[in-house]
Amino acid sequence: MQRRRFLGLIGGGLVVVPLSLTGCRGHQHGRILSSKDEDMVGSHAAGAATFSPLVSEAVDKLLGQEMAGIQQASLNQGAVQPKRICFFGIENDSAEELGDFREQLYEIINQRVVESMAFDMIAREFATAGLREAGLRPDQLYLPNNQRLFAGVMEQQGQPFDFMLFAKLTSGTTASGKDKSQRDYLLTLKLINISNGRMTSQQAKIRKGYYKSVL
């Protein structure tokens, strides 16, 4: 226990007021969260409670839109092999650093795509090697000539694909006085069919409030 003394003037006299402050030093503990526990809401930045529903909504909407066409093709042609997707990771244009969430979000998106059973994901190592061999960045793949160049390199690696998947996270912040602010998180997914250049886009948005308090 630490004791501090605060000096004050009352009625012209000097008063010494002892004040005991327990727990001044930080104390941290942890516990394992069960499947029934809700995700924690970050006090200063987005966390699991923000990113998990963002990813789930955006991926489900995007794949659901494409799966309708694939299911129709399977009815007309019989069994259809899963379409292969080349995913280039998440571009972060939000006001926050993603930190270790960048890798986790990549893995979550990858897993949800595979679980759809209608799509398969090319390993990121092949996509990275293909970009390096072609001398391209992901943002340059919106141009048809670059798409053909990259697709040719991937075929040489034995990794042909049907779609390219791009993910981008943005945010917008609204301040309400000095003590409150709102941040809107927007995840945009774009799926490009390399055979015809058609692009499908879906978004998911979550609003989050931040509140400052004076201890």
The pLDDT of residue 7 = 46
CATH code at 199?
3.40.50
Domain count, the chain: 1
Instruction: Answer whether residue 59 is part of any domain.
Output: yes
Q: Identify whether 153 is part of a domain.
A: no
Stated pTM of the model = 0.74
H or E, element range at 202: strand 199-211
In a domain, 24, yes or no: no
pLDDT, tens digit (0-9, with 9 covering 90-100), for 128-148: 999 999 999 999 999 999 999
Which residues of the chain carry a pLDDT beneath 70? 1-26, 28-49, 68-80, 213-215
| CB contact burial 4-29 (16+ within 10 A = b; e otherwise) | eeeeeeeeeeeeeeeeeeeeeeeeee
Residue 201 lies in a domain: yes
Q: Which of 24, 5, 2 has its CA nearest to residue 16?
A: 5
In a domain, 150, yes or no: no
Is 8 inside any structural domain? no
Which residues have C-beta within 8 Å of that of residue 99, sequence separation ≥ 6? none
Q: Is residue 154 part of a domain?
A: no
- Maximum CA pair distance of the chain? 96
Confidence at residue 6, expressed as pLDDT on a 0 to 100 scale: 46
Residue 185's domain spans which residues?
48-122+161-211
The residue assigned the tokens 């009352």 is 10
Q: Is residue 109 part of a domain?
A: yes
